[in-house]
Structure 1
Amino acid sequence: MNKAITEGINFMPPAFQLGLDVWSSGDGTPGSDTYDGAPNAAFVPADADFGGCLELQKTSALQKLRYVGQTPLLPGCYLQIKVRIKAISGNLPSVRVAGWAGGAGGAHVAGVTERTPAVTLTTYGDVVEVTGIVGSGNRGGVDMPWGRAALYGHFGLDLEGPSGGIVRIDDIEITDITGVFLRDMLSLVDVRDYGAVGDGVSNDSAAFEAADAAAGGRRVFVPEGSYFLGETVNLQSEVEFEGTVSMPVDKMLILTKNYNLPAYISAFGNEETAFRKAFQALLNGVDHESLDLGGRKVMITAPIDMQAAVPNRDSYSTRRVIRNGQLEAVDGPAWDTETFTSQATYDPANQRILTNVVNIANIPVGARVTGAGVGREIYVRSKNVGAGEITLNAPLYDAAGTQVFTFHSYKYMLDFSGFSSLSKFNLQNIEFQCNNTCSGMLLAPAGATFALFDCFISRPKDRGITSIGGGCQGMLIDGCQFLSAEEGANVADRTTIAFNVNANDVKLRHNRATNFRHFGVMAGQNHMILGNHFFQGDAVPNGPRTAGIVVVGTYASCTFAENYVDNCSFEWTNEQDADPDFTGGFSFSSMSITDNIFLSGEVAPWFSYIVIKPHGVGHFINGMTVTGNKFRSINGYIDRADRVDTSFSGLNYDRTKNLIFEGNMYHGVSIQSENPLRLEYEQTTVSDNWLIDTEGRLPFGAESRGVQSVVAQGPLTVSDGGIRYLTPYTQSQQGAGQEMIRLRWSEPVRGTVIATVRADK
């Protein structure tokens, strides 16, 4: 690059023969004295070495010679000032190239170097060449780095040392030597050429943006050094970092052309800082919808507060993606779970509020709440310190009154809870390597369609994904693997949970989970749970098994289909009802369980694959389909595939409605449930009162609420062998458990019938 060629700029000052009125004995600024008519200066037209030259007698301690014209100093441009001089007589002075730095409005730019090292003249008549280089950047070989504030200079020389000597000076040359400072690849624009200092203190923001503006399609180069950027910097060019940058938390570095994590790691020299600043740019830049981690592993030493990384954003609802890399937790005290105990009061009429919370300021938002009558996955959604109130993500089923609660504050690799709302945020192809050191991620308290695609949540210490509010609305979890840190623990000793949800419309599809206490605890409605494989067994003979999926809430409107449920169960409960007794509504309703594989091995005989667990009295099944499933127990039979957990209450079988339980396959299951239930019954003695036992084969041990049909298989005969053509009337809900039916004939007969019995109406 040469501005004289490319832009026609003339840097060369006039020759001395054109007059000394443009050569100042001061700084060269307007009004300074010139050598025109000065007694100690004269033009010599014919010198043996120089031709025309200036003869100058040194008459002061510092004799200055400056061109009064303003030589432009452009960003990225480097000028060489060349002086050829020889001593003629008298005292021998020292000589150096010098200048005066001028800024906007003619102001002097203070604090910059304006002189080169001095050269002492030692012999009369010997020509000595003295040079100096001036430019905006602090580059190697630059004698006078003036930065971007200097717009021009008055250049010349200084004579120092004893006075009285006479020298002759050839015409001063100023040439553009920017090309000397260009790297081998001319496509690079060096930020130092635009005033970047790189001392870690000076604010180089303007220099970076100036270099970017001048790049014009070339790359911006940040050489070795530490560059402080005190303002937000938005670079449109591709940037290559050899040095590193530092910035305040609230200032952003936005790399448009090479927006990816490796570029930010090069820029900041620290993986965690780079991840934070890249995420900050993701939520503030408009040119990129995704942050590519570039396959890099980022070592995380402490929880990352994702909202604190973007302090100008309290909420966000534009689609953004982080993809393609690994985040790995480094063990340390920053991950230690904090536990607090506090007395508080719960009133079921105020379903999600704890009042009169002692030491509420110490209890963090996002902490899990435990105590008497507290269900699974209850969290602090928000708190009002002044009012002493905590808002929970869900009601408590039996905690009325005042008690001491325990609050567990787990530490998450990515903590989004600082956002008031976060929507349309995606994580793709990322492994969260928690190393039994931390949990995976904590969602914002509100927001829609948070999504994970093809991610690994590996060995979380406590939780994989935690929702403390509605930030899981419409969440998508597709093609992910959840790998427990408790694979070596027995089922009864496991505490970790892969994920929980509180809001509606979650799509859980084609995931795999291993050896958690629960794969998922899912409150809300309208979930689609499709094609997942989760297994939770151990090597304990006749051992207990926990639920893989827990659906919380009576009206579920849930589809559970084509899953592989391996050594665990599907549980349906209402443990998040503040008043768990049935007082109105639909009760346990709108559930479809179809075409799943249910497998267990070496389990206790009372284990079942589908469990309903009411927490209050009066509940009943009001719409449930269980079809096309494969139930198999190996290495020991189980009693039945379905049951009611009566730890708190049973079901009201009198109100069972719309229950379809058919087309399922059973292997290693003693009692094979159906509804409608087809029974073949043989009466060997004549009687007009046949009592037929359903043998517990109605689903969930239900009562016989009706007989759909009775068909004789062969003749009905009386005691003398005569054949009768009769139709009985039926009575349901017979026997002590009301699980039997009774056929009443007009006369005593014997024979075989097929009776179809229903547990519902």
Structure 2
Amino acid sequence: MNKAITDGLVLMPTPFAAGLGQWSRGDGVPGSDTYHNIATAAFVPADQDFGGALEILKTEATQKLRYKGETPLLPGCYLRVTARVKAIAGSLPSVRVAGWAGKAGGGHVGGLTETGPSVQLTSYGEVVEISAIIGAGNRGGVDMVWGTEAIYGHFGIDLTGPTGGVVRVDDIEIEDVTGVFLRDIVNVVDVRDFGAVGNGSADDSAAFEAADAAANGRTVLVSKGTYRLANSVTMDSRVEFEGTVTMPRGAILSLRKNFGLPAYIDAFGDEEEALAKAIQSLLNNADHESLDMGGRRVTLRAPMDVQAMVPNRSSYAQRRVIRNGQIRAETNVDWSPRVVTSRATYSASKNFKLTNVVNVANVPVGALVEGAGVGREIYVRSVDIPNAEIELSQPIGDAEGTQVFTFTRFKFLLDFSGFNRLDVFQLNDLEFQCGEQASGILLAPVGIGMQVRDCVFNRPGHRAIASHGSGCQGMVVQGCQFISHEGGTLSQNRVSVAITANGQDIKIQDNRASQFRHFLVFSGAQGLISGNHFYQGDPASAGIRTAGIVLALKACNTTIADNYIDNAFIEWTNEREAQAEFTDGFGFAGLSVTGNIFLCSHVARWFSFLVVKPYGTGHFVNGLNVSGNTFRAVSGNIARVERVDDSFAPLDLTKMKKIDFSNNTYHAIDNGSSNPLTVSHSQNTHAETWVIGTESRLPFDGHAREVDTLVHRGRLRNEANVSEWYMPYTLTNQGGAKNQVHVIYPRKVRGDLNIQVRMD
């Protein structure tokens, strides 16, 4: 600042040794009298204290000494005038720095303070130094505030008090001291002014806090250097970083005035470390509820264990949000899953545990469990090393006994599994660039109200959002894009899953997913799945398709509404209790499928949009509403829209209850199901028993178990073509497939009727 303002300007007056003609006895203006060739003033070339000095006999009440040169004053520049004086003989006067303020055109600026503090000389031969600071701003330490109208000054000293004394004056100095006021001028407080070293080893924590305390609304400048902060530091002022900081993992940097990822990147210089420290502050400061990434992209060289970034917290239950940025997997890093095999025992009596696990310490929490009879998307929830046990996210099904299990731990960009519990956490407007290797998010083992909104999961290697416990309780996933890297892979060979959830009350709304193996695997109940579009087709002719939604709980109490289900199907299964025979309970209950658009193309004829897959005998459907949907097949018909996958067991069609299959639209579907089903029958031959088939149009090709209504469309006629007025009765569950109804009359008749048949 000093050099920028005054470089090239002459500030120092000429020395007395050069002659006294430049030193005025008045204000220093042109034409004023000088000290040249007068009897009361002389230059003393040899003085023991000053070298050369001006000796003056005080003859006036205010004896003025002014340099006739015009010392420039620039906006933002502060000058200090210094003089050294000593009394030689006679009366002892007072002395002060003084000046004359000049403006453009040579005029005087009136109304200003033009003298500095006065000092009384008290003894002979004692050197007294006086000074005063002149500048435009009214700042602490400025003795003469001259504003911006004054553009130059004539400076020197005044001798006041009694006359008759003799004093000697050393050469007067004028210097630029703008640097003293630099912080005030540019509204910046530099941490170095408060003792910060910035060498990367000294602890600068106290200096940062002192600068923050002194800022008083100004910006704290962290000038160039590397500053080690050994302790947590909270900055209440806005902070500007030219240099960077380092901190131990447990120390927290809280930037209250400019909290946001760009500021932390400036602070730490490394974007990965910056994200970690920003998240740490987010979960440790009540002054901000969200971390704005400022649209920045952060490249991770390893999975981010979020709890390890916040070592002082194992749980958190206040709303916090990370928003507006991109998190990317470094392509030159190995993101391959960690795979461990171990022998363990599973028993239906402890259906959430594996026991007697060999080398249990090697099994990672959050790993996917695979083995003979193990259901889909079951994870390690926790590991009990002393007891050699593993807690599971769900029962694993038909795996009774001891076998070797495979545990596959995917690597997630954001891994929340280290928390014991995490509630009401939210991710908004983020893109997860997984690069075909990394997975997206692993939730905490326990938690309520996780929200993922308007995010993009770009090419996850294995999972986009996964839950290894109940951390998905009440989860909302809304407005997200899930983009698979397996578009060129046949459906049945894909491995990636968009969403895995185990908890209750999830809301999966308005998302789009393309070409995953599964869009959602849901093992809980009370789910609301609406407004989504998921596409799982492939170019194969007569191709196989995979389930878009897997409901792995019988009594799911779930609504699937207003979705576009494209070359995928809904699978409803009880594989978590594989091979369990039905003994009591609701059965497959509480599913509502309404208002959806179903489309398939180039699929095998046996493909169906709703598949119930029971494990164990005796299971039945007890509460299913399929209504208001549009079903369409392209490039070939399919047989029906619903079916039972009886690979392990069929449904018990004699127990079906509360099934509503109505108001659906069918295109290129051979057997469009309905329940109740209205059959129009024309009996063209006279018979006492009319055999009425349901043409495989009852849901799941079910039994004709009930008749709701029977209406003749015209008159009944006997063999003499005479009208009859009989009221028939019906027999249900007729025929080999029990899908016929017999209408019985007391005499042989013929005619037309509509009959409404139910399979429940």
**Same structural fold, with TM-score higher than 0.5 when normalized by the shorter chain:** yes
CA contact (8 A) 2:461 2:485 kept: yes
CA contact (8 A) 1:631 1:665 kept: yes
CA RMSD of aligned residues (A): 2.5
Q: Spell out, residue by residue over 1:621-674, the C-alpha distance to the aligned partner (whole angstroms, 9 max, x if none).
A: 111111100000011000001111111111111111111000000001000100
Q: Spell out, residue by residue over 1:597-642, the C-alpha distance to the aligned partner (whole angstroms, 9 max, x if none).
A: 0001111100001111111211111111111000000110000011
Matched, 1:502 2:496: no
AA paired with 2:481?
Q
CA contact (8 A) 1:442 1:467 kept: yes
Structure-2 change in CA distance of 1:178 and 1:659 (3 Å): same
1:194 aligned partner = 194
TM-score scaled to structure 2, two decimals? 0.78
2:414 aligned partner = 414
SS of 1:349's partner is: helix
Structure-2 change in CA distance of 1:384 and 1:81 (3 Å): farther
CA shift, 1:412, in A, is 0.3
2:53 to 38, 49, 60: 49
Matched, 1:664 2:659: no
SS of 2:577's partner is: coil
1:76-475 to 2 correspondence within 5 Å?
177=177, 179-180=179-180, 182=182, 186-475=186-475
CA contact (8 A) 1:397 1:615 kept: no
AA paired with 1:711?
V
Structure-2 change in CA distance of 1:520 and 1:180 (3 Å): same
Query: Taking every aligned residue pair, what percent have the same amino acid on both sides?
Result: 51
AA paired with 2:530?
L
Q: 1:646 & 1:621 partners in 2: Cα distance?
A: 14
Q: What stretches of structure 1 of length at least 5 have no aligned partner? A: 2-42, 53-77, 86-128, 130-167
1:581 aligned partner = 581
Q: Spell out, residue by residue over 1:663-706, the C-alpha distance to the aligned partner (whole angstroms, 9 max, x if none).
A: 00000100010000000112222111222111111011111111
1:643-654 to 2 correspondence within 5 Å?
643-654=643-654
Q: Spell out, residue by residue over 1:17-57, the C-alpha distance to the aligned partner (whole angstroms, 9 max, x if none).
A: xxxxxxxxxxxxxxxxxxxxxxxxxx9688643879xxxxx
Q: 1:83 & 1:376 partners in 2: Cα distance?
A: 90
Structure-2 change in CA distance of 1:80 and 1:584 (3 Å): farther
Matched, 1:602 2:606: no
Structure-2 change in CA distance of 1:241 and 1:678 (3 Å): same
CA contact (8 A) 2:512 2:532 kept: yes
1:14 aligned partner = none
2:519 aligned partner = 519
CA shift, 1:386, in A, is 1.0
Q: 2:746 & 2:655 partners in 1: Cα distance?
A: 31
CA shift, 1:437, in A, is 1.6
1:638 aligned partner = 638
CA contact (8 A) 1:505 1:526 kept: yes
1:627 aligned partner = 627
Structure-2 change in CA distance of 1:348 and 1:578 (3 Å): farther
AA paired with 1:49?
A
2:736 aligned partner = 736
1:593 aligned partner = 593
SS of 2:591's partner is: strand
CA shift, 1:332, in A, is 3.6
Matched, 1:698 2:698: yes
Matched, 1:484 2:484: yes
SS of 1:653's partner is: coil
Structure-2 change in CA distance of 1:211 and 1:746 (3 Å): same
Residues 469-478 or 699-708, more deviating: 699-708
CA shift, 1:490, in A, is 1.2
Q: 1:412 & 1:237 partners in 2: Cα distance?
A: 35
2:720 aligned partner = 720
AA paired with 2:610?
I
CA contact (8 A) 1:330 1:437 kept: no
Number of equivalent positions:
613
SS of 2:654's partner is: helix
Q: 1:448 & 1:333 partners in 2: Cα distance?
A: 33
CA contact (8 A) 2:294 2:325 kept: yes
CA contact (8 A) 2:591 2:625 kept: yes
CA shift, 1:581, in A, is 2.0
Q: 1:507 & 1:255 partners in 2: Cα distance?
A: 35
1:746 aligned partner = 746
Q: 1:213 & 1:487 partners in 2: Cα distance?
A: 57
CA shift, 1:579, in A, is 6.0
Structure-2 change in CA distance of 1:354 and 1:510 (3 Å): same
Structure-2 change in CA distance of 1:745 and 1:385 (3 Å): same
Structure-2 change in CA distance of 1:176 and 1:632 (3 Å): same
Structure-2 change in CA distance of 1:751 and 1:262 (3 Å): same
CA contact (8 A) 1:348 1:579 kept: no
Structure-2 change in CA distance of 1:334 and 1:251 (3 Å): farther
SS of 1:287's partner is: coil
Structure-2 change in CA distance of 1:80 and 1:700 (3 Å): farther
SS of 1:361's partner is: helix
CA shift, 1:580, in A, is 2.9
Q: Spell out, residue by residue over 1:246-287, the C-alpha distance to the aligned partner (whole angstroms, 9 max, x if none).
A: 000000110001000000000000010000000000000111
Q: 2:510 & 2:684 partners in 1: Cα distance?
A: 53
Structure-2 change in CA distance of 1:741 and 1:200 (3 Å): same
CA shift, 1:488, in A, is 1.3
CA contact (8 A) 2:453 2:477 kept: yes
1:531-610 to 2 correspondence within 5 Å?
531-577=531-577, 580-610=580-610
Q: 2:179 & 2:499 partners in 1: Cα distance?
A: 60
CA contact (8 A) 1:351 1:578 kept: no
SS of 1:655's partner is: coil
2:41 aligned partner = none
Q: 2:428 & 2:589 partners in 1: Cα distance?
A: 35
CA contact (8 A) 2:556 2:591 kept: yes
Q: 1:743 & 1:185 partners in 2: Cα distance?
A: 102
AA paired with 2:411?
K
1:689 aligned partner = 689
CA contact (8 A) 1:465 1:500 kept: yes
Structure-2 change in CA distance of 1:720 and 1:309 (3 Å): same
Structure-2 change in CA distance of 1:257 and 1:611 (3 Å): same
Residues 344-353 or 726-735, more deviating: 726-735
Q: 1:581 & 1:413 partners in 2: Cα distance?
A: 41
CA contact (8 A) 2:411 2:438 kept: yes
Structure-2 change in CA distance of 1:82 and 1:204 (3 Å): farther
SS of 1:326's partner is: strand
AA paired with 1:625?
N
Q: 1:334 & 1:262 partners in 2: Cα distance?
A: 27
CA shift, 1:495, in A, is 0.7
AA paired with 1:242?
E
SS of 2:348's partner is: coil
Q: 2:373 & 2:80 partners in 1: Cα distance?
A: 83
TM-score scaled to structure 1, two decimals? 0.78
